[in-house]
């Protein structure tokens, strides 16, 4: 699990230089999309949007803030960084086709380490059909910083924004929630154990699903074609990167509507629930506030409910209420509380310290 | 010149939080371009390329590597970061219309500092007609890291790449070269003086032009319409960010051609020359290897020479020779040497230490 300190090949970046590194990292890049007219190697990439709207989003990831290389392999970090960006395009009901990748590294990183990072990025590119068309490589004063920009497309007018939810719409989520957060808790615990006893061999088998959700999440690129096939018309959409409650509130705020969200409807994986129990955390709070699941949250006309009924990809978790009505969470016991955002905030040093701690 | 330690308002970022900071930084953003359908506030920005090709480029800037806040005001850092990206679109003969801005900051930065940085970015946006349509704000472990992605457009087939130079073409440069590099040398010298005697009041008046070239450079967005008006058809183009010799070699490599570059033709500002003399540097070497001028270097058919003859914006500095011929610099004394790239490399700790030092 922890960083391999015994790599035989450890080539300092300075031996190849910036241009050498760029050549090395880019040599295996193949361009697949017809919209990619020209990729890396000029002042800018050249793309052809044809008749489509262009969707653009960007994310910056900082070592020690967004990822910890003592338990996240570089290949997974690269894969996840690309997936997080693709997820933003999925959340617009669009198709991601290009990314630009910028990386800043301190002198502790070797050429081999960079190749591992880019291998993860190229793998995600291949799986999601996304071309790497540009980027920048530079040195940092400390640690690894990754900035990715993704470019996607949607037939004009078909992109789905956050602000389109209407009174009476169903609130629906894909997949299950909270697993990525619990995976992180397991990794952090094992890191503490390892610090005390570096010889320990943790049994991670019981946590396989939640660890994969944390270390190698997937973007729901399958949802757009599935909704089209089912003839379902989402009215608003967002991806769950910061936590369900935070994302529901974003939709409500942008759409100027209220909401009733039902705790008992929130989809959870059994492994997430048992692990939350093990950590004395309330699994509903974890599902509401734990981020990084990269599932999609959307609203849709209630009249189309039959089209998704029983479909394992979709779980209705609430409904949109009128403008000026409250944004509420209906608890399992029927009591109603105001919905609060308690998601990820990189500026909050206390993030994830103890939210959702069960009162015992 | 040096950082003002007496700001009255110093609000820690944690008091406003990530979303608060984003709201604050974005509240003054106005969208102007018809191609910007939707900017900040959703999972992705939505753009309309119409019939045009989409040009995309990205750059990452790291405090301590690319800029030094002890002499570069944050507003200028923001302005320059945007200009550098716009310059890449100019170098494709395109028009920049959108940028996405990501920033990572350590806890020594205040809300006021971020506002100053964004003020510079917004100013560049207004001057160049570029909309800020997205970004990310996060915390860093050390220092300020800026990543900007720029989106530009060109009528299909009118973008100018690096690989189109033909035998016999004129090699032309805009503006003058080497001033940004000499401005940096002056700033570094004054910083050393200031370290020894913080009361010193440097007289920077004689260096005004070269300091402005370093701290607040401009992108040559005026060149595309000017070439169109003159009916000049560039065959290849690149911007001079790493140094003239490095960029000439990029064009030669991508175009698979040779070159004759004439030292005596390279345009230099008198202030750059006198400052180079003061530092015992060879001003031609500075113009050849000093980066960050953001002028444009392009090739054009020799048959169109009369259209630029005498135009103060353009200086022919050489000509393209056949495939498999050498890439050479013709010195003032008529001797010929191989052209060598000695430009900026962020992985080279010795960068700028002593290249171009006059042999005395």
pLDDT tens digits, residue range B60-77? 999 999 999 999 999 999
Question: What are B130-142's pLDDT values in tens digits?
Answer: 999 999 999 999 9
Domain extent listing, chain A: 13-154, 162-338
Nearest chain B CA: its distance from A59 CA (Å)? 6
pTM of the model: 0.91
Contact B139/A346, CB-based, under 8 Å?
yes
From CA A124, how far away is CA A219, in angstroms rounded?
A: 10
Per-residue exposure over B219-235, b if at least 16 CB sit within 10 Å of its own CB, e if not? bbbebbebbeeeebbbb
Q: Does A17 touch chain B (CB under 8 A)?
A: yes
Pairs of residues, one from chain A and one from chain B, whose beta carbons lie less than 8 Å apart:
228
Contact A100/B58, CB-based, under 8 Å?
yes
Contact A139/B91, CB-based, under 8 Å?
no
Contacts of B135 in chain A (CB under 8 A): 58
Domains A13-154 and A162-338 share a fold: no
User: For tokens 């960029």, what's the residue?
Assistant: B247
Chain A, residues 220-239, CB within 8 A of chain B, namely 237-239
Nearest to A102 among B41, B55, B147 (CB): B147
Alpha helices in chain A (DSSP H): 17-26, 74-90, 111-128, 179-196, 208-215, 223-230, 244-255, 270-278, 283-289
Nearest chain A CA: its distance from B236 CA (Å)? 10
Q: Does A122 touch chain B (CB under 8 A)?
A: no
Contacts of B37 in chain A (CB under 8 A): 53
Contacts of A295 in chain B (CB under 8 A): none
- A contact test, residue of B44, B109, B111 with most A CBs within 10 A: B44
Contact B56/A238, CB-based, under 8 Å?
no
Nearest to B69 by CA among B4, B22, B136: B4
Each residue's pLDDT, cut to its tens digit, for chain B (360 residues) gives: 444 444 557 888 888 877 788 777 887 788 999 999 999 889 999 999 999 999 999 999 999 999 999 999 999 999 999 999 999 999 999 999 999 999 999 999 999 999 999 999 999 999 999 999 999 999 999 999 999 999 999 999 899 999 999 999 999 999 999 999 999 999 999 999 988 988 888 889 999 999 999 999 999 999 999 999 999 999 999 999 999 999 999 999 999 999 999 999 999 999 999 999 999 999 999 999 999 999 999 999 999 999 999 999 999 999 999 999 999 999 999 999 999 987 555 555 444 433 444 433
Nearest to A211 by CA among A178, A243, A188, A180: A180
Domain B162-338: give its CATH code. Answer: 3.90.650.10
From CA A217, how far away is CA A215, in angstroms rounded?
A: 6
Query: What's the token pair of residue A337?
Result: 């509380």
Nearest chain B CA: its distance from A242 CA (Å)? 12
Q: Write down the architecture of domain A13-154 according to CATH.
A: 2-Layer Sandwich (3.30)
Nearest to A44 by CA among B136, B31, B98: B98
């Amino acid at each position: 699990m922890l960083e391999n300190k015994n790599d035989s090949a450890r080539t300092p970046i300075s031996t190849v230089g910036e241009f050498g590194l760029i050549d090395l990292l880019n040599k295996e890049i193949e361009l697949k999309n017809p919209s990619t007219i020209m990729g890396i190697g000029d002042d800018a990439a050249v793309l052809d949007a044809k008749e489509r709207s262009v969707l653009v989003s960007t994310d910056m990831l900082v070592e020690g803030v967004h990822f910890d290389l003592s338990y996240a392999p570089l290949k997974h970090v690269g894969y996840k960084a690309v997936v997080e960006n693709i997820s933003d395009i999925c959340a617009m009901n669009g198709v991601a086709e290009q990314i630009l990748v910028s990386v800043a590294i301190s002198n502790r990183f070797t050429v081999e380490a960079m190749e591992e990072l880019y291998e993860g990025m190229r793998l995600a590119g291949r799986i999601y059909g996304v071309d790497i068309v540009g980027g920048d490589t530079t040195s940092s004063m400390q640690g690894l910083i990754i900035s990715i920009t993704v470019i996607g497309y949607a037939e004009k007018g078909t992109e789905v924004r956050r602000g389109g939810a209407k009174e009476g719409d169903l609130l629906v989520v894909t997949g299950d929630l909270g697993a990525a957060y619990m995976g992180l808790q397991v990794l952090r615990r094992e890191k503490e154990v390892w610090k005390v006893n570096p010889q320990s061999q943790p049994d991670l088998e019981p946590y396989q699903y939640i660890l994969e959700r944390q270390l190698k999440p997937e973007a729901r690129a399958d949802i757009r074609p599935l909704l089209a096939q089912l003839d379902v018309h989402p009215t608003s959409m967002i991806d769950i990167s910061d936590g369900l409650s935070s994302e529901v509130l974003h939709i409500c705020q942008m759409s100027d509507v209220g909401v009733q969200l039902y705790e008992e409807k929130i989809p959870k994986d059994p492994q997430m629930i048992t692990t939350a129990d093990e950590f004395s955390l309330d699994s509903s709070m974890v599902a509401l506030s734990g981020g990084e699941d990269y599932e999609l949250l959307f609203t849709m006309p209630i009249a189309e409910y039959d089209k998704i009924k029983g479909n394992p990809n979709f779980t209705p978790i609430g409904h949109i209420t009128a403008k000026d009505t409250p944004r509420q969470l209906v608890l399992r016991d029927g009591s109603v509380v105001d919905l609060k955002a308690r998601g990820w905030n990189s500026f909050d040093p206390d993030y994830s310290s103890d939210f959702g701690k069960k009162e015992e």
